[in-house]
């Protein structure tokens, strides 16, 4: 680390010494014993501008307090079949660890539909199918972030004997369709939460099984990204197996990367191949049991209350909005080419 960066961290530490008790308490809960490394992440996210990084962190801490993020791992999505519906349509999981000890997070971008929780909530509780049920997906995403930071990364740090604070993400584009435009608002919300409150937690993004629609959008979006972000993204050939085996063992490959042409992100497994998206996978079982245990500690034997956690959605960065609009325009262009523009009429990225 350069002297300039070290000086920036010292200035940042000095500013944090003046925050009030509430902000300091949630900062303690957030940095998990590594305050300097946490400050460095926020500085990287703001190109080492101390004042901008300080504002970003203070906004993050206030967001955590206002939305009780420190307690979100004691708020399970119940009953279990509602959570299973979330898992069946929000395809995310932990497939293993890289050779350097970084957790490997698999994401089924193309086949995530973000719809089953809404339907199941309607069946169970007669909820209206509206944007309110989006909260289940946001809640689940934040819980996975918090579990990663509080449990997965500390366990990796202990196992590998060095501080591990970042992960690798493998994004499967299998099944990506023009109908994904309906999900852009939710995906932008989740991305904004990560950018503003969990910055610099991903070392590298690996894109695999990319269809033409992704390639077209990537060509349009790539010039809009910051150089720091572009350096993190690697678009691999096919399922990416050979390239990924350079950084992880076969046992840590996501199931959709284990065989060229294996196809689906969703529920495709056989023999020793585990589907890390499934609620039945050991990662999700451990996560869900952990949340239930934390809830029981707080509730002290009383029945755990059902209900989604309503998290305030931060306003997206203007650059993120520009990227979302570019994706919308590119999808519209592709739809026009395929003669199906009528199916997309009236859709707005920022609409209700």
Structure tokens at 306: 């059902």
Structure tokens at 204: 């590298």
Q: Residue 168 forms beta bridges with which residues?
A: 104, 204
CA gap 155, 176 in Å, rounded? 34
Is-contact 221 327, C-beta < 8 A? Answer: yes
Helices and strands per DSSP (H, E), number in the chain = 14, 5
CA gap 325, 350 in Å, rounded? 9
Nearest to 66 by CA among 99, 28, 23: 23
| pLDDT by residue, tens only, the chain of 352 residues | 688 899 999 999 999 999 999 999 999 999 989 999 999 999 999 999 999 999 999 999 999 999 999 999 999 998 888 899 999 999 999 999 999 999 999 999 999 988 876 666 555 555 544 445 788 899 999 999 999 999 999 999 999 999 999 999 999 999 988 777 677 778 888 999 999 999 999 999 999 999 988 888 888 888 888 888 899 999 999 999 999 999 999 999 999 998 754 444 554 444 434 799 999 999 999 999 999 999 988 866 565 666 567 788 777 677 777 777 787 787 777 777 766 444 434 333 333 3
Interhelix angle for 21-31 vs 50-66, to 10°? 90
With H, G, I as helix, E, B as strand and everything else as coil, classify residue 108.
Answer: strand
Q: Give, as one character, the DSSP assignment of residue 236.
A: -
Structure tokens at 35: 């305050």
Structure tokens at 105: 């997070």
**Dihedral (CA of 150, 155, 156, 158) sign:** positive
Structure tokens at 180: 């994904």
Nearest to 164 by CA among 243, 104, 227, 232: 104
Each residue's pLDDT tens digit, 139-162: 999 999 999 999 999 999 999 999
Is-contact 178 214, C-beta < 8 A? Answer: no
CA gap 256, 276 in Å, rounded? 10
CA distances to 71, 189, 219 from 349, rounded to whole Å, are 31, 11, 20
Each residue's pLDDT tens digit, 153-205: 999 999 999 999 999 999 999 998 877 767 777 888 899 999 999 999 999 99
Residue owning tokens 């050939």: 237
Model pTM? 0.87
With H, G, I as helix, E, B as strand and everything else as coil, classify residue 314.
Answer: coil
Rg (Cα) of the chain, in Å, rounded? 20
Structure tokens at 239: 């399922």
With H, G, I as helix, E, B as strand and everything else as coil, classify residue 130.
Answer: coil
Q: Are strands 92-97 and 103-108 parallel, antiparallel or unpaired?
A: antiparallel
Structure tokens at 70: 């420190």
Burial of residue 8 (number of CB atoms within 10 Å: 0-12, 13-18, 19+) = buried
CA gap 345, 252 in Å, rounded? 42
Which domains does the chain show, CATH number per domain? 3-67 (1.10.8), 76-259+272-300 (3.40.525.10)
């Amino acid at each position: 680390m350069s002297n300039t960066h070290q000086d920036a961290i010292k200035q940042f530490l000095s500013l944090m010494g003046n925050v009030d008790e509430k902000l300091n308490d949630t900062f303690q809960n957030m940095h998990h014993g590594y305050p300097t490394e946490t400050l460095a992440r926020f500085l990287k996210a703001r190109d080492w501008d101390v004042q901008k990084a300080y504002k970003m962190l203070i906004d993050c801490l206030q967001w955590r307090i206002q939305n009780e993020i420190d307690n979100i791992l004691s708020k399970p999505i119940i009953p279990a079949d509602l959570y299973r519906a979330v898992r069946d349509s929000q395809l995310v999981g932990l497939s293993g660890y890289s050779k350097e000890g970084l957790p490997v997070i698999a994401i089924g971008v193309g086949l995530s539909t973000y719809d089953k929780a809404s339907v199941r909530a309607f069946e169970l509780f007669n909820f209206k199918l509206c944007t309110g049920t989006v909260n289940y997906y946001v809640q689940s995403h934040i819980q996975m972030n918090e579990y990663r930071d509080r449990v997965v990364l500390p366990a990796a740090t202990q196992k590998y004997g060095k501080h591990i604070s970042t992960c690798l993400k493998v994004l499967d584009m299998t099944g990506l369709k023009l109908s994904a435009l309906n999900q852009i608002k939710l995906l932008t919300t989740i991305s904004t939460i990560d950018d503003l409150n969990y910055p610099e937690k991903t070392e590298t993004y690996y894109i695999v099984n990319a269809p033409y629609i992704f390639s077209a959008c990537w060509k349009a979006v790539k010039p809009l990204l910051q150089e720091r972000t572009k350096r993190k993204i690697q678009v691999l050939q096919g399922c990416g197996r050979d390239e990924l085996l350079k950084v992880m063992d076969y046992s840590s490959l996501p199931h959709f990367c284990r065989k060229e042409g294996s196809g689906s992100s969703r529920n495709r497994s056989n023999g020793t191949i585990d589907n890390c998206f499934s609620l039945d996978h050991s990662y999700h079982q451990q996560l869900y049991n952990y949340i239930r245990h934390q809830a029981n500690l707080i509730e002290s034997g009383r029945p755990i209350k059902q209900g989604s956690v309503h998290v305030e959605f931060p306003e997206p960065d203007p650059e993120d909005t520009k990227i979302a609009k570019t994706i919308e325009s590119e999808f519209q262009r592709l739809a026009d080419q395929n003669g199906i523009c009528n199916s997309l009429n009236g859709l707005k990225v920022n609409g209700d």
